[in-house]
């Protein structure tokens, strides 16, 4: 450690808004901020490009190839196909020192294709997937943060390593438990995850729901449905009996549970007694034990439905998400940085577009936020009533981890819906990702350069967090990631989406390519609609 560095550290601790926190030298953090600002154009291009690829869970081939190419060109070592998942990858760089992991989700949602910059519901390709949660912005943010950090580390000979990883198939809660099971986070000291939001914040302690995703496939016997139905055993009857039983059971389940399903195979045609039928359930609650007991009720009900119909049933686990638990010392570090970065400078055009979307979609009208969200202590007594999940929980129970929420979207949009896609390739999304990248870069430097902060994060993980609960995943040693999901769907839609991929060499922005004069809505037809060969507009999601 140089004397200059010690002096900087000392001045940092004097200037710090939270005196108990040791942080990286302010000069180094200013350099990181300047580096991110230097990547503003790259961030816009990455956010727009990933938006235009619009790939759902396990189909993130273009997105992965594109982002890893940028990282490889910048000296990162790429490993593809990690944890047996073709679209998963890691990008590592550095030597010695702590290993900090940076991740975000990159998949989108079935059936929510949407033209960005358009306040009306208007798909780019009807029925195609779309970024109706804004996952197109998270990995571009992390790539920009990593490039900014790397430059500071190289310049000042700081020891440390970075590992970037994408959240694959998050909407299916499909991969992070497998990453953990297969040892992807072995040797990682801490992880910073980011998620799109309309606010700029972080949190610690327990939050969100745990979840298990399971498909029950019933096997019966076909017969002529009118000629000799008594010779058949309907697998669809079993599905329906299971669903009715679960819906009656719901009355007697804790209010915190969430149980939802889709019939993923309802049989072939009415005159054949269905020989095979499947129903796909998500079971959620806010602790590991509660998820497990709901899962057991589901399994028992499926077995009972099979018994009632003289069919057999196969249980296939498709995904799992641990309840989230954020690391307090890391959240405090990140929050100080979030405060320093502050909200993006929204223009009148940004506010006008946000208002236009809210009014057109009849959502509560509220301007883009101008203040960061305070860091709040979690409530002691939790009685949550539902809510979504993110399998970052599995990583949170493996290494000290936080989520930084960054302001790339408009307030009061509907989740898993086209409204959440409307701003996601506009200046609002771009500026939010720039702000988020700065907070990540600064927090990584804090962790890399102040070993005592990393020690504090680990101590909190080992004591406070483990006292609250311990990691109990429902993924077994023999379960495999559900990489087949969305395969057929993308075989239909990818060729229809290709003509709308963003060409950053020809167009300044994706809005330019689509002929949209932000913040004004498009006035004429901006694309030729090619009807898909087979149409499927259902959506699935995290």
Residues that bind Zn ion (CB under 5 A): 133
Q: Min. distance of Cβ 134 from Zn ion in angstroms? A: 8
Q: Min. distance of Cβ 105 from Zn ion in angstroms? A: 5
Q: Min. distance of Cβ 399 from Zn ion in angstroms? A: 20
Complex with Zn ion: residue 233 or 405, whichever CB lies closer = 405
Q: What is the secondary structure of 352-363 as a DSSP string?
A: HHHHHHHHHTTP
Structure tokens at 50: 């990933």
CB 187 within 8 A of CB 101: no
Of 370, 369, 368, nearest to 355 by C-alpha is 368
Q: Min. distance of Cβ 195 from Zn ion in angstroms? A: 6
CB 502 within 8 A of CB 513: yes
CA dihedral 292, 276, 169, 509 (to 10 degrees): -150
Complex with Zn ion: residue 133 or 453, whichever CB lies closer = 133
408 CA to centre of own chain: 14
Q: Min. distance of Cβ 423 from Zn ion in angstroms? A: 15
The C-alpha atoms of residue 466 and residue 376 are separated, in whole angstroms, by 21
Complex with Zn ion: residue 332 or 391, whichever CB lies closer = 391
Complex with Zn ion: residue 85 or 158, whichever CB lies closer = 85
- Sequence-distant (6+) residues with CB within 8 A of 520 are none
**Chain position whose Cβ is nearest to Zn ion:** 133
Complex with Zn ion: residue 131 or 290, whichever CB lies closer = 131
Using omega within 30 degrees of 0 as the cis cutoff, is the peptide bond preceding 519 cis? yes
Beta-sheet pairing, 324-326 with 210-219:
unpaired
Complex with Zn ion: residue 48 or 133, whichever CB lies closer = 133
Q: Min. distance of Cβ 540 from Zn ion in angstroms? A: 13
Complex with Zn ion: residue 176 or 438, whichever CB lies closer = 176
Q: What is the secondary structure of 425-447 as a DSSP string?
A: TSHHHHHHHHHHHHHHHHHHHHH
Q: Min. distance of Cβ 387 from Zn ion in angstroms? A: 12
Residue with tokens 């405090």: 332
Burial of 54 (0-12, 13-18, 19+ CB in 10 A): buried
């Amino acid at each position: 450690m140089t004397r200059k560095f010690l002096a900087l550290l000392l001045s940092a601790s004097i200037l710090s808004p939270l005196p108990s926190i040791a942080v990286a030298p302010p000069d180094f953090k200013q350099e990181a901020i300047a580096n991110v600002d230097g990547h503003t154009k790259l961030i816009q291009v990455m956010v727009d490009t990933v938006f235009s690829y619009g790939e759902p869970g396990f189909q993130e081939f273009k997105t992965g190839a594109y982002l890893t190419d940028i990282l490889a060109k910048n000296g990162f070592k790429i490993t593809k196909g990690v944890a047996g998942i073709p679209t998963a990858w890691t990008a590592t760089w550095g030597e010695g020192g702590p290993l900090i992991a940076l991740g975000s989700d990159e998949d989108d949602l079935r059936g929510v294709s949407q033209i960005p910059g358009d306040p009306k519901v208007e798909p780019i390709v009807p029925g195609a997937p779309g970024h109706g949660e804004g996952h197109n912005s998270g990995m571009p943010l992390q790539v920009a943060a990593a490039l900014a950090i790397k430059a500071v580390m190289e310049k000042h000979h700081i020891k440390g390593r970075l590992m970037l990883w994408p959240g694959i198939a998050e909407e299916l809660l499909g991969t992070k438990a497998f990453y953990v099971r297969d040892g992807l986070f072995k040797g990682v000291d801490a992880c910073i995850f980011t998620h799109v939001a309309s606010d700029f914040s972080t949190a610690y302690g327990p939050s969100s729901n745990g979840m298990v995703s399971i498909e029950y496939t019933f096997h019966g016997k076909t017969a002529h449905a009118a000629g000799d139905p008594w010779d058949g055993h309907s697998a669809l009857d079993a599905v329906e009996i299971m669903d009715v039983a679960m819906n009656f059971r719901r009355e007697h389940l804790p209010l915190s549970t969430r149980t939802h399903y889709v019939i993923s195979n309802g049989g072939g045609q009415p005159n054949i007694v269905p020989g095979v039928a499947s129903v796909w359930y998500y079971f959620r609650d806010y602790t590991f034990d509660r998820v497990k007991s709901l899962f057991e009720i589901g399994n028992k009900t499926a077995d009972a439905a099979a018994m009632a119909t003289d069919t057999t049933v196969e249980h296939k686990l498709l995904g799992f998400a641990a309840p989230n638990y954020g690391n307090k010392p890391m959240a405090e570090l990140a929050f100080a940085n979030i405060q320093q970065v502050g909200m993006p400078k929204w223009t009148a055009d940004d506010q006008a577009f946000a208002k236009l979307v809210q009014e057109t979609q009849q959502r509560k009208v509220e301007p883009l936020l101008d203040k960061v969200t305070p860091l709040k202590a979690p409530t002691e007594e939790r009685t949550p009533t539902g809510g979504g999940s993110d399998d970052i929980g599995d990583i949170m129970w493996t290494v000290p981890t936080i989520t930084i929420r960054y302001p790339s979207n408009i307030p009061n949009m509907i989740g898993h819906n086209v409204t959440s896609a409307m701003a996601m390739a506009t200046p609002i999304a771009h500026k939010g990702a720039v702000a988020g990248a700065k907070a990540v870069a600064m927090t990584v430097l804090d962790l890399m350069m102040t070993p005592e902060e990393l020690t504090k994060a680990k101590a909190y993980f080992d004591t406070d967090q483990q006292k609250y609960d311990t990691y109990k995943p429902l993924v077994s040693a023999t379960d495999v990631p559900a990489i087949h999901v969305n395969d057929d769907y993308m075989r239909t839609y990818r060729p229809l989406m290709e003509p709308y991929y963003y060409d950053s060499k020809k167009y300044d922005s994706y809005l330019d390519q689509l002929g949209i004069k932000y913040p004004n809505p498009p006035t004429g037809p901006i694309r030729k609609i090619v009807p898909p060969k087979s149409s499927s507009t259902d959506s699935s999601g995290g």
